[in-house]
Amino acid sequence: MASYYGEILPVISRSADDEEDDEFAPQPRPLIVKTTSPSKDCETLCDCLVVTVGEVAWRFAESFFDLSRENKWADVEETRDEDHVGYEAISKSPKIAISFHTVSSGQRKTTFAVCKGHNPPEQIWPVTNKILGIPRGYKEVFVLSSSPVQEYKCDDPALLEAPFVKSLATSPSPTEHPIYPTLEQPNMFKNIVAAVISRCHILRVPAIAYVCFTENIHIDPASVLSLNQLLNTTQFRTAKDVGLASKDIVRLVANSHAKHGSLYT
């Protein structure tokens, strides 16, 4: 077989290559659900499901909705085996892929599925199945995340003023949601965000994703507060004072920067 440049190349079967790739590809690790509340069946019922991916979204939810041990009812942990020696060496405790919290406001219940850590490609769909499969009764899904502004594609990057938020909704979309600009092509969502939105679109569950594009390596107040338009909607109505929560965000961010301030920590 001749290549574009003219040299002769051996013909290789793609089917054989695919089999070899599958053989050596990382396999998804099993996920175990561990309940932390005795009233699990009651806690799994909710009106709205909010998925937070990454630290910016987690800090937003934690500050405005006071996610704590008291309202956490389940953790989803990755199992470990002898094939993951490197992971064993890094951490002796199991990795928590998802934490579920339920927050009540009047007669309305909102479940938060918190994903703090990074999920490798082989874990994307198993984690997504747990996120959408464990809570029950929800009619709408909101996905909050963040991404480096360097990954955002546009004609003139010099005009970008980070942080900014882009959104993408399924059809049908949630009944009430803030109007952030729609994510333009060729940009696209990745990983857990893309998987959750795709699955909701297939299942005809109204869903919308919000991604904050930030230019800072570490978390900053402006990035967290860029999502505060959500607080004007019924789904995100909270009894916590917005002004006090904003101060909490600044305090949390300052402490986070202090931890990363040393070259040796």
Residue 175 CA to residue 173 CA, distance in Å, equals 6
Q: What is the pTM of this model?
A: 0.81
Domains of the chain: 27-259 (3.40.50.10900)
How many residues does the structure list for the chain?
A: 265
Distance (Å, rounded) from C-alpha 167 to C-alpha 70?
31
pLDDT of residue 263: 41
Q: Which residues of the chain have pLDDT under 50?
A: 1-8, 85, 87-89, 258, 260-265
What's the pLDDT score for residue 264? Answer: 44
CA distance 216 to 16: 44
Single-letter residue type at 216? N
Burial of 162 (0-12, 13-18, 19+ CB in 10 A): middle
**Residue 5: per-residue pLDDT:** 39
Instruction: Answer whether 188's CB lies under 8 Å from 195's CB.
Output: no
Q: Are strands 108-115 and 48-53 parallel, antiparallel or unpaired?
A: parallel
Between CA 211 and CA 164 the distance in angstroms is 8
